[in-house]
């Protein structure tokens, strides 16, 4: 923001909610956006030479589907580009409890981890395992946050005096091992526009159709078994295993690492953007974020999202501005 504010051409409009893209299909261009001033409810049209979608996975996909940019994915036929390859990351793990050890959880930062990468990606032999990919194992603390650090043995009451006593007892005597594994695309997992439900400004909500593929379940169980071996070797009083649910649900939330929906690739029939994150069907629309990932890796997506943003920005600066048009032939 400080760098942008120094540019006289930059203007920040707060409490503005983009409602839709203005798409000219014949010209294969986005002419601008319509946004709503949430204070007054008034709509404004903002023309634009270049539009960058920099929202989250769901909003990027929602905008393209609403505008009709690219063919919506159809799971029945496997055809279409927008909404396909929605992926999630698999998380599970083991909690270990120690009567005689205290771990000083308040001495660390909120994101402190010790990681084991031996079982991520292709770092290990998959022969006979029945799955592809992998993930990392981390031993982590949450900086002793009063809610986020609440790790309790199985059977602890959910509330009341016994809950308080257990929380006080195990507060500094617990260690959490977590696994975060890759999520590969499945034909049955996708995003589309909800036919019934709308948001506060009348737009159809994005709808997620998802369940973990068998591959992800097997991979997660393998990683959790490795966690358990490590935890048991430490000699805990007890352990609690947190397996991946067989039927996916969002409560409690396991991860914010959603990917896909506007994926990048070389085939305009099955992907939404090219390698420069430029929409195949609108050459002045660039899509940033993990929505362009064709698959979901075993690592956090943040670093790759940043790298792709720099990559696309460089292409816009050095190629597109000099000669606006498709940067890759479809």
Residues identified as active-site: 257
Q: Count of H helices and E strands in the chain?
A: 5, 13
Query: How many Cβ atoms from other residues are within 10 Å of residue 97's Cβ?
Result: 21
Short-list 104, 124, 260, CA closest to 190:
260
Find the farthest-apart pair of alpha carbons in the chain and give their distance in angstroms, rounded.
Answer: 71
Cα-atom radius of gyration of the chain, to the nearest Å?
23
Give phi and psi for 153, each to the nearest 5.
Answer: -65, 155
d(CA 93, CA 83) in angstroms, rounded, equals 30
* 262 in Cβ contact with 273 (< 8 Å): yes
Residue 311 parent element (H or E): helix 302-315
* 285 in Cβ contact with 53 (< 8 Å): yes
| Sheet strand arrangement including 29-37 | 16-24, 29-37, 43-47
SS3 (DSSP) at 170: helix
d(CA 245, CA 22) in angstroms, rounded, equals 41
d(CA 82, CA 75) in angstroms, rounded, equals 11
Length in residues, the chain: 330
SS3 (DSSP) at 96: strand
């Amino acid at each position: 923001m400080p760098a942008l504010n120094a540019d006289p051409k930059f203007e920040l409009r707060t409490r503005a909610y983009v409602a839709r893209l203005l798409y000219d299909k014949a010209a294969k261009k986005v002419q601008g956006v319509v946004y709503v001033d949430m204070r007054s409810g008034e709509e404004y049209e903002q023309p634009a030479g270049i539009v960058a979608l920099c929202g989250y996975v769901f909003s990027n996909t929602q905008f393209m589907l609403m505008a009709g940019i690219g063919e919506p994915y159809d799971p029945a036929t496997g055809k279409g580009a927008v909404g396909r390859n929605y992926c999630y990351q698999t998380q599970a793990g083991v909690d270990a409890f120690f009567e005689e050890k205290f771990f000083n959880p308040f001495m660390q930062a909120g994101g402190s981890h010790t990681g084991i990468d031996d079982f991520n990606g292709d770092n290990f032999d998959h022969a006979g395992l029945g799955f592809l990919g992998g993930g990392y194992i981390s031993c982590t603390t949450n900086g002793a946050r009063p809610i986020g650090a609440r790790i309790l043995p199985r059977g602890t009451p959910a509330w009341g005096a016994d809950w308080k006593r257990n929380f006080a007892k195990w507060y500094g005597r617990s260690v959490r091992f977590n696994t975060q594994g890759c999520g590969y695309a499945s034909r049955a997992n996708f995003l589309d526009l909800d036919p019934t439900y709308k948001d506060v400004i009348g737009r159809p909500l994005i709808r997620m159709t998802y369940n973990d593929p068998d591959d992800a379940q097997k991979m997660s169980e393998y990683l959790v078994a490795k966690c358990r071996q490590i935890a048991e070797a430490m000699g805990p009083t007890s352990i609690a295993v947190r397996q991946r649910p067989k039927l996916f649900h969002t409560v409690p939330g396991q991860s914010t690492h959603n990917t896909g929906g506007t994926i990048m690739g070389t085939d305009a029939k099955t992907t939404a953007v090219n390698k420069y994150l430029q929409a195949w069907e609108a050459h002045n629309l660039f899509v940033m974020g993990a929505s362009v990932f064709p698959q979901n890796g075993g690592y956090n997506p943040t670093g790759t999202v940043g790298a792709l943003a720099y990559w696309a920005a460089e292409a816009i600066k050095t190629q597109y501005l000099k000669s606006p048009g498709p940067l890759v032939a479809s």
